[in-house]
Homo-oligomer: A and B are copies of this chain.
Amino acid sequence: MTTSRSGPKLAKIAETIGVSTATVSNALSGKGRVSDELAARIRRKADELGYVASSAGRALRTGRSGVIGLVLPDIANPLFPQIAQAIEHAATQAGYGVLIGDSRGEIGMQTEAIGRLVERGVDGMVVVPRRGTRVIDIDCPVAVIDTPSTPGNTVSADHFGGGELVARHLAALGHRRVLLVGANRESNVQNDRLAGMRSVSELRTETLWLDERWYEAGQGGTLSLAEKMREGFTAIATVSDMQALRALTELQRNGWRIPEDVSVTGFDDLPWTSIITPSLTSVRMDMARIAGIAIEVLCAAILDPAKIDQTDRKTLRAPIQTVAMTLVERNSTAPPPIRDETAFKGELA
């Protein structure tokens, strides 16, 4: 028996078995208005004939499509696979399909992508904004996954807490001077992570933004991170595994040993963190949990439109939920090197 898109219809089942379509519908939906024996007989026959309900017919009648949209302004986000998988799984559990919406990295196209999803009749959507983009005027329930400090946020990882975790870990190992590395000054996520790191008082930190401005200042080139390190830092804590990978390979290439000479940490626990040498200490978010909450809140809003806050741009009127992050300790961190800090400072000249 093959699943089939143009197979028998409800009426066919009803006719074959000699009952009304209403009864078949009730039997199949299990609403219990049909005697057990008959219901069983109908189900058997439906299976036998390979019946698959028409989603169009159902959607037209019920007014709900059973599909939600997943919007990521930047699908190239390295976390995308994890997010997509978690959302797809949670949505499937809740009986929803997931339509993807991409704006190819261009902020202007986000509205179009969202519009396309609305046209396709999604019942709601999950939006993971990037770079402070805001969700505007969407006339359907929207769950936002960003940071606790983002207005309109629905659920997010505790990025601040994650930063704290990393900083505490380094402090516990004995590090005192830590170089913080960010990539995008506008990112709420990155700023929250950095704020968390800075909140650990044992550490003296300094922040380096490896962004366009840094390049423009002519500080790019192979050696500059290594040079910066000579100022006496014993560890680099980055806001993403990508930045950590960058720092790790650049330092290795310049003869630094990790973690003996310098500890390096990342964020997000991307798939390659454990295959590199040394494997990367990182912080993971519980995507399954976050996705589960987003879908749960979204479904509640879909079923009960009163949950949509009319005054506040249709965002969900649910308490913002924050999910703790977890430190994944690996080989890229170790106690600080035994060395005279002033000696290193001297090398600067």
User: A residues within 8 Å of B by Cβ?
Assistant: 2-7, 52-57, 59-60, 63, 65-67, 70, 75-78, 80-82, 84-85, 88-89, 92, 97-102, 104, 114-122, 137-140, 222, 242, 245-246, 248-250, 252-253, 257-258, 271-272, 275-278
Does the CB pair B246–A276 fall under 8 Å?
yes
Closest chain B residue to A250 by CB distance?
Answer: B277
With known contacts A3-B115, A81-B80, A88–B60 Cβ distance under 8 A: no
Q: Which residues from B are CB-within-8-Å of A278?
A: 249, 253
Q: Report the minimum CB–CB distance from A112 to chain B (whole Å).
A: 9
Q: Which residues from B are CB-within-8-Å of A55?
A: 59, 65, 119-121
Closest chain B residue to A69 by CB distance?
Answer: B97
Does the CB pair B81–A85 fall under 8 Å?
no
Q: Report the minimum CB–CB distance from A181 to chain B (whole Å).
A: 12
Does the CB pair A245–B100 fall under 8 Å?
no
Contact of A275 among B99, B137, B222, B245 (CB under 8 A): B245
Closest chain B residue to A124 by CB distance?
Answer: B5
Q: Report the minimum CB–CB distance from A331 to chain B (whole Å).
A: 10
How far, in angstroms, from A117 to B55 measured CA to CA in the complex? 11
Contact of A3 among B77, B101, B119 (CB under 8 A): B119
Does the CB pair B76–A78 fall under 8 Å?
no
Does the CB pair A271–B78 fall under 8 Å?
yes
Does the CB pair A77–B67 fall under 8 Å?
no
Contact of A4 among B67, B76, B139 (CB under 8 A): B139
A selection of 11 A-B contacts at a CB cut-off of 8 Å is: A3-B114, A55-B120, A60-B60, A75-B84, A78-B81, A88-B100, A97-B116, A222-B277, A245-B245, A246-B277, A250-B277
Does the CB pair A85–B60 fall under 8 Å?
no
